């Protein structure tokens, strides 16, 4: 699983709720490397509704969680969410194009820290921070679901933070 030649970040696996192309209930998040992080465009619809005309807060949190998962793909770092914090600045409307951006904000041992924003038409609607903890691939074997072949190439040693799209693609 490598970043594509145009900076496209492949799905974590085909059935991923956030980015998996084979999941009919999924969000369809498509990410690409952008500067020192990743970017995604998304429009939420009635399937994602909480209050009338607005996105459910849990869906917004899931979008951020998956966006951070895209950072793990770029870094080739098997890890799991340890903490996810979302600050809602304004209601997230349905049917409007949304722009999401995420970046790596730090590392401490097995911990990887990320930050992200969600905007619509230049308005900041939500911000998120997360801590992910690196794990060995054996962590996922207990689920009995197949581990994507591409994950097997991922190293377990810490990788340097992502600094710019060219370096990220060079590592791919």
Active site amino acids? 65
Cα–Cα nearest to 168, from 11, 34, 19: 34
Helices (H) and strands (E) in the chain, counts: 3, 7
Per-residue b/e over 131-168, b at no fewer than 16 CB within 10 Å? bbebeeeeebeeeeeeebeeeeebeeeebeebeebeeb
């Amino acid at each position: 699983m490598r970043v594509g030649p145009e900076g496209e970040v492949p799905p974590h696996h085909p059935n991923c709720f956030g980015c998996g192309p084979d999941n009919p209930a999924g969000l369809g998040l498509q990410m690409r490397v952008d500067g020192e992080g990743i970017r995604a465009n998304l429009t939420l619809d009635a399937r994602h509704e909480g209050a009338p005309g607005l996105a459910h807060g849990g869906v917004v949190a899931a979008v951020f969680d998956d966006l951070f998962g895209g950072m793990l793909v770029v870094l080739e770092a098997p890890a799991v969410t340890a903490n996810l914090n979302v600050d809602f600045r304004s209601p997230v409307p349905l049917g409007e194009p949304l722009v999401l951006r995420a970046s790596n904000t730090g590392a401490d041992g097995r911990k990887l820290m990320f930050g992200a924003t969600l905007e619509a038409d230049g308005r900041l609607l939500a911000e998120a921070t997360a801590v992910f903890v690196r794990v060995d691939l054996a962590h996922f074997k207990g689920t009995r679901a197949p581990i994507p072949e591409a994950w097997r190439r991922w190293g377990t040693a810490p990788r340097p933070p992502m600094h710019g799209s060219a370096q990220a693609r060079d590592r791919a």
